[in-house]
């Protein structure tokens, strides 16, 4: 006798159809709102803000992390979020760490203000994805952007702590592989590293989707879309890293080839983030159609 499905529990096929419809509707909204053009605007502002953010992060981290370890740790972190040539990232970070202790208090405030520029167009784009027409005032938008710069900086700092712990754990794994099967130890180690780094990426998208839109957002409303966005972002990062050597940016753009590659990646990341925002809105409307009114 065939096993009966629980009453009210959708079958896997029904669930897949529901997910597919959400993705299709999100993709339609993504193209209708000209999200690629918005992504280009975000990439432009990000390129102007990323180096002040880097200098600010190095300045703050320098109080807690030894200078000789600072460049290598941050290079590993930025190489994950910005998958361009590792030597380009390390050279720039190593150069900046030589002067971080000469930054004064006023300069720190100016760096923080410059670093927040990336979140202004992103906030406007997320409001558009959610259909929110009522914008925050100029002062609140900039204060929120400053807050987001601090929060993202905190996530990067936690990543640097993870990198530091990872070094000690890696040494322990070398010893543990002599006591236990090396394959088992290596599998457990790499699985833990992947889980921790993915959790940090997921946290970043949860913060973006929950805080930036100008409407009340609950954690359970943004978690599914943030999870899907994090998965899409990881897939895009892997694909970009795989194809990057084939693009030959240096031959076309010369000395600024790495900068163009960096801007291309930020553009792709922005598009993935905006698509995730469309998923968040579409999923919310499909689950709560009676409560999907948007603040005008």
Asked which of 134-143, 174-183, 246-255, 272-281 is least confident by mean pLDDT, the reply is: 174-183
Q: Rounded distance, CA 38 to CA 177, Å?
A: 49
For the segment 57-77, the average pLDDT, to the nearest whole number, is 63
Q: Rounded distance, CA 283 to CA 277, Å?
A: 10
Say whether pTM exceeds 0.75.
yes
Query: Cα dist. 35→5, 28, 268, 272, 274 in Å?
Result: 41, 11, 11, 10, 7
What is the pLDDT at residue 66?
A: 60
What is the pLDDT at residue 34?
A: 87
Q: pLDDT tens digits, residue range 93-114?
A: 555 555 555 555 555 666 667 7
Asked which of 72-76, 105-109, 174-178 is least confident by mean pLDDT, the reply is: 174-178
Asked which of 74-83, 110-119, 129-138 is least confident by mean pLDDT, the reply is: 74-83
Using a pLDDT cut of 70, give the percent of the chain over it. 61
For the segment 220-247, the average pLDDT, to the nearest whole number, is 88
> In terms of pLDDT, which residue wins out, 62 or 4?
62
Does residue 4 carry a pLDDT above 50? no
| SS3 track for the chain | CCCCCCCCCCCHHHHHHHHHHHHHHHHHHHHHCCHHHHHHHHHHHHHHHHHHHHHHHHHHHCCCCCHHHHHHHHHHHHHHHCCCCHHHHHHHHHHHHCCHHHCCHHHHHHHHHHHHHHHHHHHHHHHHHCCCCCCCCHHHHHHHHHHHHHHHHHHHHHHHHHHHHHHHHHHHHHHHHHHCCHHHHHHHHHHHHHHHHHHHHHHHHHHHHHHCCCCCCCHHHHHHHHHHHHHHHHHHHHHHHHHHHHHCHHHHHHHHHHHHHHHHHHHHHHHHHHHHHHHHHHHHHHHCHHHCCCCC
Which tokens belong to 118?
Answer: 């990336």
When the pLDDT of each residue in the chain is averaged and rounded to a whole number, the result is 75
Write down how long the chain is.
Answer: 296
What is the pLDDT at residue 46?
A: 83
């Amino acid at each position: 006798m065939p096993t009966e499905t629980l009453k009210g529990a959708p079958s896997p096929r029904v669930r897949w159809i529901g997910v597919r419809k959400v993705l299709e509707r999100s993709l339609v909204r993504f193209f209708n709102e000209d999200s690629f053009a918005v992504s280009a605007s975000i990439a432009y502002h990000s390129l102007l803000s990323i180096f002040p953010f880097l200098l600010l992060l190095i300045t703050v981290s320098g109080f807690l992390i030894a200078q000789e370890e600072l460049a290598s740790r941050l290079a590993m972190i930025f190489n994950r979020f910005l998958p361009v040539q590792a030597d380009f990232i390390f050279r720039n970070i190593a150069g900046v760490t030589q002067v971080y202790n000469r930054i004064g208090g006023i300069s720190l405030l100016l760096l923080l203000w410059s670093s927040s520029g990336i979140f202004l167009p992103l906030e406007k784009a997320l409001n558009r994805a959610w259909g929110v027409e009522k914008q925050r005032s100029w002062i609140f938008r900039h204060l929120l952007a400053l807050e987001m710069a601090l929060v993202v900086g905190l996530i990067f700092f936690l990543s640097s702590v993870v990198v530091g712990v990872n070094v000690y754990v890696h040494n322990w794994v070398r010893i543990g592989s002599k006591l236990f099967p090396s394959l088992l130890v290596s599998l457990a180690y790499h699985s833990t590293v992947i889980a921790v780094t993915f959790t940090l990426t997921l946290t970043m998208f949860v913060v973006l989707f929950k805080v930036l839109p100008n409407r009340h957002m609950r954690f359970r409303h943004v978690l599914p879309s943030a999870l899907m966005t994090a998965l899409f972002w990881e897939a895009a990062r892997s694909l970009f890293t795989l194809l990057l050597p084939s693009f030959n940016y240096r031959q076309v753009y010369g000395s600024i080839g790495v900068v163009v590659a960096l801007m291309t990646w930020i553009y792709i990341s922005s598009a993935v983030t905006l698509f995730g925002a469309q998923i968040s809105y579409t999923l919310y409307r499909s689950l709560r159609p009676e409560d999907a009114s948007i603040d005008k």
